[in-house]
Chain A
């Protein structure tokens, strides 16, 4: 019963994932394509949950759905894309696309049919097993060096990205926040004592 239920969930998620993946490349509007990619990530996270990889599944939602795709959408929405122009030379790229796609397909088949992969069912654990703790133990003991190297690579990428995009424009107006905070009332307003210019109207006189 439980197994059948999991199978049903898997096939439903897989169907949604394949559909979303196809729509990513076939949707005419780039914003729709990006949104289908979000759906694909989310569904993939669901499949990972079925494999009891809850940390990875939630991290996928947090990082890719919650941050990367938000920024991606941000950019895609800002671009002024002419759909006609974009699709004009679409079929010219068919030969390289077929080569790349065919290679990826062949690689996938090679992995999927290999004996190490086929029939490998992940071990089930009891409810007390903490996926997160197990992953942390591995990352900070056996794989500490690759993990740290990956972190350094990411840091270099961050620094490089900032260095590439940071331009100091000569005529840009900047405000020093410290100056703003330390501003006193006397810097901004001047109290002026003005005498009353007009006397009160006298009885019977037209104003």
Chain B
């Protein structure tokens, strides 16, 4: 039935078929992602509300369920103000540059066995490359706004992202040592056989470093000095309004879901079931793991005050990088001994 339909469509589109089919798959990933982003904002507001003994949004729709849509519509109808001294082209390009890499990285994420848009060998490197491009949007936004606050925010963000990228990259080196592959699908399959085979156990220090670095990379509290409301108003996006601001907002949440997905894929077994003999592997496991990771990110925001800028730099350079370097050596050394099976 399904294959018949696909064959019919294939004949209809002829040589254009690969393009159409590729676009269909991209939409099948991005549309749920956008809905996820919208409802992540509600999830965050509700969770933080409950943690602070408030109710959170509950006016729009039953239980506040239409709140993200109301927010989106409101921002859509607001005016986009262009500062007169701003560089117009770069000012409008910046939100796109933040958002596009956050979406592009999803191309290599495996959702289930063989369910991946682009099954490339260097998937892990591709993800690192894509996430490192996102910082350009922030830098360009700060510079093109021609505002001191925005510029300070973008400089902070640039320094922070470059610093934490190193720790994050080293944490992932541990994963690829265990998995013997850069392909995300093979990394997940390397963790098959129950939750005690997942990489977060042998690589626990790297898992913690990765998770905290990921929070820092996405500029989330307690690492949100790039926005730093109390010091530099709203940092790099202080001059943005309306939909241009909304795109920054969407990119931040899309990035949050991305790093949570990466943590779930590389350390928590992706789509694999924790008890394979009892429960089948399924995409739902991945969704559950992503949700748990996102809950942790939100929990961090509700709990910790903002780091001071020099403390952020110290944590990245003097704590995380040494921790990852030591643990990579430990993993490499242990792999030469008879306990090597622990690391596979």
Contacts and interface: CB of A to CB of B under 8 A. Distances in A.
A35 B104 CA distance: 20
A62 interface: yes
Contacts of A55: 122, 125
B151 A131 contact: no
A177 B308 CA distance: 12
A62 B129 contact: yes
A66 B133 contact: yes
Contacts of A14: none
Contact of B165 (A54, A58, A66, A130): A66
Interface of B: 15, 90, 120-122, 125-126, 128-129, 132-133, 135-136, 139-140, 143, 151, 154-155, 158-159, 161-162, 165, 182, 311, 314
A17 interface: no
Interface string A18-43: 00000000000001000100100000
Contact of A131 (B121, B140, B159): B121
Nearest to B135: A70
Contacts of B159: 74
A74 B139 contact: yes
Given A35-B140, A177-B311, A70 B158 contact: yes
A58 B155 CA distance: 25
B139 A58 contact: no
Contacts of B165: 66-67
Chain A's interface size range is 20 to 34
Contact of A59 (B125, B151, B155, B158): B125
16 contacts: A31-B143, A54-B120, A55-B122, A58-B122, A58-B126, A65-B129, A66-B129, A70-B132, A70-B135, A70-B139, A71-B162, A73-B158, A74-B139, A78-B155, A132-B125, A177-B314
- Per CB-CB distance, the 4 closest pairs between chain A and chain B, nearest first, are A66-B132, A61-B129, A58-B125, A62-B129
B139 A132 contact: no
Interface in A1-24: 1
A158 interface: no
A77 interface: yes
A65 B132 contact: yes
Interface string A143-178: 000000000000000000000000000000000010
Chain B's interface: helix, strand, loop or mixed, by majority? helix
Contacts of A61: 129, 132-133
Interface in A56-83: 58-59, 61-62, 65-67, 70-71, 73-74, 77-78
Contacts of B161: 70
A66 B143 CA distance: 18
Contacts of B311: 177
Given A54-B121, A58-B126, A70-B139, A132 B182 contact: yes
B129 A58 contact: yes
Contacts of B15: 1
Interface of A: 1, 31, 35, 38, 54-55, 58-59, 61-62, 65-67, 70-71, 73-74, 77-78, 130-132, 177
A83 to B, nearest CB: 14
A67 B132 contact: yes
Contacts of A58: 122, 125-126, 128-129
Contacts of B129: 58, 61-62, 65-66
Nearest to B93: A35
Contacts of A31: 143
B136 A74 contact: no
Interface-central residue, A31, A66, A74, A177, by most chain B CB under 10 Å: A66
A78 B129 CA distance: 25
A100 B165 CA distance: 37
A70 B136 contact: yes
Given A66-B165, A70-B136, A54 B122 contact: yes
Given A67-B162, A67-B165, A74-B139, A131 B132 contact: no
Contacts of B143: 31, 73, 77
B289 to A, nearest CB: 26
Nearest to B176: A132
A46 B161 CA distance: 24
B136 A38 contact: yes
Given A66-B165, A70-B158, A132 B121 contact: yes
Contacts of B132: 61-62, 65-67, 70
Given A62-B128, A62-B132, A74 B158 contact: yes
B128 A73 contact: no
Contacts of A65: 129, 132-133
Contacts of A1: 15
Nearest to A38: B136
Contact of A132 (B122, B151, B158, B162): B122
A77 B151 CA distance: 9
A192 B276 CA distance: 61
Interface-central residue, A65, A70, A132, A177, by most chain B CB under 10 Å: A70
